[in-house]
Amino acid sequence: MSTTATMGEMANSAVEFYPKRGGGDAEANHAGDFGVTLEELRTLMEMRGPEALQKIQDSFGDVEGLCQRLKSSTSDGLSDNPTDLEKRRQAFGQNFIPPKKAKTFLQLVWEALQDVTLIILEIAAIISLGLSFYQPPGHESEGCGNVSGGAEDEGEAEAGWIEGAAILLSVICVVLVTAFNDWSKEKQFRGLQSRIELEQRFAVVRNGNVIQIPVAEMVVGDMAQVKYGDLLPADGVLVQGNDLKIDESSLTGESDHVRKSADKDPMLLSGTHVMEGSGRMLVTAVGVNSQTGIIFTLLGAGEGEEEKKEKKGKQPEAAVETNQNKAKKQDGAVAMEMQPLKSAEGGEVEEREKKKANVPKKEKSVLQGKLTKLAVQIGKAGLVMSAITVIILVLYFVIETFVVEGQSWLPECTPIYVQYFVKFFIIGVTVLVVAVPEGLPLAVTISLAYSVKKMMKDNNLVRHLDACETMGNATAICSDKTGTLTTNRMTVVQAYINDQHFREVPDPSQINSNTLEIVVNAISINCAYTSKIMPPDVEGGLPKQVGNKTECGLLGFLLDLKRDYVPVREQIPEEKLYKVYTFNSVRKSMSTVVQMPDGNFRLYSKGASEILLKKCSSILGANGEARSFKPRDRDEMVKKVIEPMACEGLRTICIAYRDLPCDPEPDWDNEAEIVTDLTCISVVGIEDPVRPEVPEAIRKCQRAGITVRMVTGDNINTARAIAAKCGIIQPGDDFLCLEGKDFNRRIRNEKGEIEQERIDKIWPKLRVLARSSPTDKHTLVKGIIDSTVLEQRQVVAVTGDGTNDGPALKKADVGFAMGIAGTDVAKEASDIILTDDNFSSIVKAVMWGRNVYDSISKFLQFQLTVNIVAVIVAFTGACITQDSPLKAVQMLWVNLIMDTFASLALATEPPTEALLLRKPYGRNNPLISLTMMKNILGHGVYQLVIIFTLLFVGEKIFNIDCGRNAPLHSPPSEHYTIIFNTFVLMQLFNEINARKIHGERNVFDGIFANPIFCSIVLGTFGVQLSLPP
């Protein structure tokens, strides 16, 4: 199988996922090919720390020896030979975990049958069916009074079984439709998950080149490059690492980050997160043989055993699932790669356990909360109505038969009386069936599934279905700056070097040669070696920036100075870097130590200018010589260089160095002592232009009642300048721009505790939070969500790309992760992934979210009208005529139209720009607005007037036989057929009315833009006309 094997091909060759153990020869051959067996590697990966190092030394000499046995190279990786890669898959397995089996259609049918109202109907129908075949002897039944009058009319007795059978048939229809919907929903969900899986790629070295491949194509022996924010897709041994720290909590439960190094603890495990640093690892176990794979295999076996136990114990909970739980469970039903982008899977065993302990990711979404409440209220009302209906019918029958007519209860009449009671019970259940809006979850699901599919085209990859609808209620967006509001294409446009402020990139001749040499080395060595400038894809295009964009900007600066970073890196390869302090949100800088030819050390450092300048005690002057740099000089430089650059929206980076003696060797772990007393080489201003479409997108948000706030790690002046360009802040507005430390000071009391009242004084006016840490971001988001200071509770969306944005993304009502710049950890914490990292895609998500909310409201308006009319007709009809004008079977048909087809028709309306012209609904707004209530009541009254007119004077109008007070088992009358048809056609036309819920006059506006709606209305109309009476 070639390296480009598709997911589908993999899914079809499930047998090959497990290494072939049965015929020992095959494995022996492959193991012989590689000089190390699968079992040896598995044993090795179960060891940790010094024990693992000892095992590597005893068995292979060192990591290099293991590498040779696996026929790989630490520098060049594997060859790209498909035969070799296939051989490795045969010997060591594929990087793929077989999925849990999806539920079969029959299982879904069985689940649909668990619905309580359907079970009641089934029982009632079976009793009715059984009794309809029982005929008491003719002469004995005469004494039962007129209750059975007419039952023996020729041909009518035979029709008795039809109602029971028809109810059963209708139940089967409803069950099949529900099961089909669940099945198609699961299929869509699987499609979504496989799309998410294909998104995840990983950097490996093949033939000496770093390439990105889908994680499923990784094989044992690959040389993988790991970096900050990755989720490891396979087990491996660290070959070379820089300041590498791993979060192993998903496997061990330990929350402390584990420091990894090639000489102390080189074991890297799949499913763990890289929290800091970078490095290269030799892949030693993939798929079911990796640590995560082994756990999944055990979990799979454990679940199987649990299911058997449950079946033995006949525990009822196993059977009933809500739609929401189904969606969550289906997360895991998809072909599982070693994968972060899962809500329930991805090696997160601990998270799985939490879920079992019933700790949800978030509360119910806004709409789900409102719908559940409404459905419960309607259900209760329906139950009361149906109970009253049954009681009135039974009392009326008993009083009429035994009191008014003075009959006595004769044993031979019992079956006939029971048949009447069953009929009354069926009428009661019918009222309940119509009253309970079981179509609501279906409408929500269809609407969300439809929107999710369409949102993919708008660069929104939705990971949690409910996020799509929540986004429609968003009142605030806390957005990152870099890459979301800006293009994330960094270019150095100004520089302060040799005591001179250059307003554009200087000519190399204007810079002292000694300084230039140091600048070239400082940038080439102290930028991650994964960051590089590649030739443009298209001739005449801009060079391609690969890796960290700020570092690419600095490397581009070297190219503008007519110098190249590649020779420097070849001279000092990554393995020769003595110590690396990688960038993180606390340091806000990166430093690298190299050993000079004379044995001494040189530290190069780069980072946020105001932070790094505080650590500088000297600066390279005009002649390239270091001179003293006092706090007074620093203040002057901030005022004259850094602030003017920042006010133009430039990001300022300071580049510095320090020479350290080799004797005595410094204590490298004492970072505060190492990264201090620096010599400033240069301060550069990097421009990251605002995306051209962002100002318009932000204007749309503001018009739609959504407040956009910028939360960035940048300097406050840079942030303010960019916010003004984007339109987040307008001149003359009353707004706040704060720095992280300022924000923290204002929200904490004397004891240093955060107080909600203090946050409430700040957040309504806050528009820019600069120099903020991920904790500040989380605090702000939590503060806005928990705030009750405004009459409307806030619904907050957050964008994030870094590993440390995880908590804020999880806390937000909707978390957006960046698909391009985002780390795996951020993507895993998010609800929606922006595949183009663009803010304007968020506006599309708002539009789709509002459309979902409106679709549900349209369906509600339609369903509630039907419910109210049907319940009142059934109840009043039953009380006045002892029979419901709408039979159980007819009600089930109406239920089918109302629930399934109408939800499909109304839930697939496409969104329009007009949705962005109104304010968000918010958390506390009622689900049914005044306009909707007016429409429901107006239509309800109109329909009731028509139906009651037909019921009580219809036979005179049409000059037909009266259908009221028909005896038991009589065939359907022409009178009641007219009522039923009129009722259904009124619902059909009401479906068109329900398309507009904000008081618009023209209900036909844009009707042909939705072919699904048109075909369903016409289809239902056709079927209704062709139904037998």
- 24-34 vs 82-92: helix axis angle to the nearest 10? 120
How does DSSP classify residue 201? E
Yes or no: say if 617 and 678 are a contact pair by the CB < 8 Å rule.
yes
> Angle at which helices 49-60 and 38-45 pack, to 10 degrees?
150
Is 499 tagged catalytic? no
**Which SS3 state, helix, strand or coil, does residue 529 take?**
coil
- With 0-12 CB in 10 A as exposed, 13-18 as middle and 19+ as buried, what is 219? buried
| Residues contacting residue 112 through CB under 8 Å, at least 6 positions apart | 118, 174, 175, 178, 179, 182
What is the rounded CA–CA span in Å between residue 804 and residue 819? 16
Q: Do 429 and 120 contact (CB within 8 A), yes or no?
A: yes
Contacts with 704 (C-beta within 8 Å, 6 or more apart), sequence order: 846, 915, 916, 917, 918, 919, 920
State how far the Cα of 874 lies from the Cα of 398, in Å rounded to an integer.
20
How many Cβ atoms are within 10 Å of 621's Cβ, its own excluded?
A: 15
Give dist(CA 579, CA 316) in Å, integer: 60
Query: CB of 243 within 8 A of CB of 581?
Result: yes
Question: Alpha-carbon distance 203 to 233, whole Å?
Answer: 11
Residue pair 445/181 in contact by the 8 Å Cβ criterion:
yes
Label each residue of 401-442 as H, E or C: HHHHCCCCCCHHHHHHHHHHHHHHHHHHHHHHHHHCCCHHHH
Strand runs labelled E in 810-890: 814-818, 832-834
498 touches 512 (CB < 8 A): yes
**What is the C-alpha to C-alpha distance for residues 471 and 698, in angstroms, rounded to an integer?**
15
Q: Residue type for 746, please?
A: R
What contacts 635, CB < 8 A, 6 or more positions away? none
DSSP 309-339: HHHHHT-GGGT---HHHHHHHHGGGS-B-S-
- Tokens matching residue 363: 């509360």
SS3 readout for 963-999: CCCCCCCCCCCHHHHHHHHHHHHHHHHHHHHCCCCCC
Q: Which amino acid is at 931?
A: T
Catalytic residue, chosen from 182, 230, 466, 480, is 480
How far apart CA 419 and CA 2 sit, in angstroms, is 69
Q: Residue 25 belongs to what H/E stretch?
A: helix 24-34
718, amino acid identity? T
Report the alpha-carbon distance of residue 438 to residue 896 in Å, rounded: 10
CA 714 – CA 735 distance, rounded (Å): 19
How many CA within 13 A on the CB side of residue 688? 27
Backbone angles phi, psi at 543, to 5 degrees: -60, 150
The residue assigned the tokens 């995840």 is 200
Sheet of 766-770, strands arranged across: 460-462, 832-834, 814-818, 796-800, 476-479, 707-711, 766-770, 736-739
* Residues known to be catalytic: 480
